[in-house]
Structure 1
């Protein structure tokens, strides 16, 4: 699955579980959690993509550690990370017990495929409706200091998806509109990136507003 689906499903699952656990997971972390397993792309060829970071033998202990350390917040964040394995196993397969075993499991619905397109574009639509219902849209509507942290998720998605496009070091733009399924997914990425960009701008606005309100130190204080 592309990062459009990973980030949106992660947001839905981790923010939803956070509400059930009575803890508020920041929006940028809810989106970022589902992206983390694909950070192994940065380390190719030292670490082969879709191996260690897509294995329960690695991610489950990590999730337990995060939950132990950060309690309910860590638990909600961990569910976002684990959602990556679930969504990847729907459209493809994952090496669930790597490196102990190279056996892979999954439904292999296809990537790209109509099923993947529905899962990814559908996740974006559900995430947007959810953000409207739970009030998270406010982080994109006006200045919020926390919104600046969305730049982390933004950079991750742009570099991993638009530059590397999953397993291939090929810019997604080179084949983004070659098939209908990829066209819909590519447009979904554009919407997601623009939304995160807007959130980042609102974060910057909040920072600049606070700096302006603080003003220069008074003469009396300086003396």
Structure 2
């Protein structure tokens, strides 16, 4: 699955899990969790993509530690991480027992494929609905400092896409519009990144406004002698 689906399904799984265990997981964390297994792309010279970070015998112990250490928040975050493996096993396969075995598990509906496009674009639609219901849409429509952290999943998605394309000698422009299914997924990425980018702008704006406001100690009233 592409990063559009991974980030969006991660948001859905993390947020719904967080609601069940009554913990708040920030939007940027919920979006980032499902992208983390693809961080092996950053270390392409050291490890092969889609191996260690897509193995259940590697990720399950890590998730267990997160849950023990951070309780409900760790559970919600782990749900986002594991959603990556679930998504990849639907459109392709994963090596759940790597490095002990190269056994591949998955439905292999295809990537790209109509099924993948439905899952990717559908996930984006669910994010829009869920963010409206839980109030996260305000990170984009209102000026608030927390919005600036949306830069983390934004940069991650862009950087991983560029690195993967470079490592595999893929022309992103030609690939993105080579099929109708890919065109829809590409437009979905553009919509998601556009929304996140707007949120980052709102966050920067909030920080600038906050810094321009005089502190209580520097106001004229604060310097007046008290009776």
What TM-score bracket applies, with the shorter chain setting the length?
Answer: over 0.9
For residues 166 and 132 of structure 2, the distance between their equivalents in structure 1, rounded to whole angstroms, comes to 30
1:174 is displaced (CA, Å) by 3.1
Give the match for residue 107 of structure 1.
Answer: 107
SS of 1:164 mapped into structure 2: helix
For residues 82 and 27 of structure 2, the distance between their equivalents in structure 1, rounded to whole angstroms, comes to 17
Range with bigger deviation, 205-214 or 25-34: 205-214
Say yes or no: does 1:208 pair with 2:199. Answer: no
Runs of 4+ in structure 1 deviating by more than 4 angstroms, as ranges, are: 219-222
For residues 11 and 40 of structure 1, the distance between their equivalents in structure 2, rounded to whole angstroms, comes to 20
Give the match for residue 61 of structure 2.
Answer: 61
CA contact (8 A) 2:42 2:163 kept: no
Residue correspondences, number: 222
CA RMSD of aligned residues (A): 2.0
Give TM-score, length-normalised by structure 2. 0.92
* Unmatched segments (≥5 aa) in structure 1: none
1:218 is displaced (CA, Å) by 3.5
For residues 196 and 219 of structure 2, the distance between their equivalents in structure 1, rounded to whole angstroms, comes to 41
SS of 2:177 mapped into structure 1: coil
Give the match for residue 153 of structure 1.
Answer: 153
SS of 2:213 mapped into structure 1: helix
* Unmatched segments (≥5 aa) in structure 2: none
Give the match for residue 89 of structure 1.
Answer: 89
Give the match for residue 37 of structure 1.
Answer: 37
For residues 119 and 83 of structure 1, the distance between their equivalents in structure 2, rounded to whole angstroms, comes to 12
For residues 219 and 126 of structure 1, the distance between their equivalents in structure 2, rounded to whole angstroms, comes to 47
Alignment of 1:66-81 (within 5 A): 66-81=66-81
Give the match for residue 168 of structure 2.
Answer: 168
